[in-house]
Amino acid sequence: MSSTPFLLERLGALVHQSLREDAARHGLLPIHIQVLEYLSQANRYSDIPIAVSEYFGITRGTVSQTLALLERNGLLIKEPDARHGKRVHLRLTAAGRAILRDSWTRRLEAAFPSFESVDRNALDAALCKLLTTLQRQNNQRAFGICRQCTHFLSEARGSRCGLTGEPLAKDQTVRICREWTAPAPTGSALQVT
Ligand code: SF4
């Protein structure tokens, strides 16, 4: 057996340790930090409570309690959707964004320049393929970067979602989406769980 499973296990353990420390520093639980991180990356189809539930594989009740706490702490607000009835979008406040400024994801990114020989695109593609495979095995929904979705359309007038037919602002094309679909047959989108 290769050392990959053990390396991933060690990395996962370190990430969780960092997450626990980040959360404790702010008087929060790890899931609170994870939800803030998720919402900072989610596109407009995915910054809603049901998507949080799907992404983390947790119940709507747990999501509801988590969002209520983050809202009480002034870390996020709920904005009604202008077109879709009761739907609300979850937006980070300045205080919510500030918590993420020194989070483990930033520290991980900061560590990469010291490994200049690492091809980040190749690394992302390999990890994505592994993640996609494991998600399929576990019947989990895949979330991925919009630009790397099979429905993504780049047109003369700008970007558009082939699934909804709606135009996509530039900042939305680099966010993660609950409707993301891997390009067939060998998708290489970066996914995040
Ligand atoms: S192109 Fe894909 S990832 Fe982007 S908004 Fe549409 S369904 Fe979501």
pLDDT, one tens digit per residue, over 105-152 is 988 888 877 677 778 888 888 888 888 788 778 888 788 899 989 999
Nearest C-alpha neighbor of 153 from the set 167, 143, 133, 136: 167
Cα distances (angstroms) measured from residue 158 to each of 61, 153, 173, 183: 39, 8, 11, 20
CATH class of 4-109: mainly alpha
Determine the average pLDDT of the residues in 84-95.
93
**Host H or E run for residue 76:** strand 76-80
**Substitution site in 143, 151, 168 for ligand 1 pocket (most atoms within 8 Å of beta carbon):** 151
Determine the average pLDDT of the residues in 55-76.
95
Three-state SS for 154?
A: strand
Determine the average pLDDT of the residues in 87-102.
96
Higher-confidence position of 100 and 132:
100
For the Cβ of 55 lying below 6 angstroms from any atom of ligand 1, the answer is no
Return the ligand 1 atom nearest residue 145 CA.
3
CA–centroid distance, 155 to ligand 1, in Å, is 14
Contact 41, 176 (CB under 8 A): yes
Report which residue type is found at 164. Answer: T
* End-to-end Cα spacing for the chain: 25
pLDDT of residue 186: 52
**Host H or E run for residue 177:** strand 176-177
pLDDT of residue 192: 46
Q: What are the residues facing 191 on neighbouring strands?
A: 144
Instruction: Specify the domain boundaries for CATH 1.10.10.10 within the chain.
Output: 4-109
What does residue 46 show for φ and ψ, rounded to 5 degrees? -125, 0
pLDDT-derived band at 21 (thresholds 50, 70, 90) equals very high
pLDDT of residue 187: 42
Answer yes or no: is pLDDT of 189 > 50: no
Contact 49, 67 (CB under 8 A): yes
Nearest CA residue ID for atom 6, ligand 1: 161
Answer yes or no: is pLDDT of 190 > 70: no
What percent of the chain stands above pLDDT 70?
Answer: 95
**Substitution site in 170, 178, 179, 192 for ligand 1 pocket (most atoms within 8 Å of beta carbon):** 179
Return the ligand 1 atom nearest residue 151 CA.
1
Three-state SS for 122?
A: helix
Contact 37, 102 (CB under 8 A): no
Answer yes or no: is pLDDT of 18 > 90: yes
For the Cβ of 189 lying below 6 angstroms from any atom of ligand 1, the answer is no
Q: Which two tokens stand for residue 180?
A: 């993301």
Indicate the angle between helix axes 49-56 and 30-41, nearest 10 degrees: 120
Query: CA-to-CA distance for 129 and 96, rounded, in angstroms?
Result: 31
Determine the average pLDDT of the residues in 58-85.
94
What does residue 44 show for φ and ψ, rounded to 5 degrees? -70, -15
CA–centroid distance, 18 to ligand 1, in Å, is 31
pLDDT of residue 185: 61
- How many beta carbons lie within 10 A of that of residue 107, not counting itself? 11
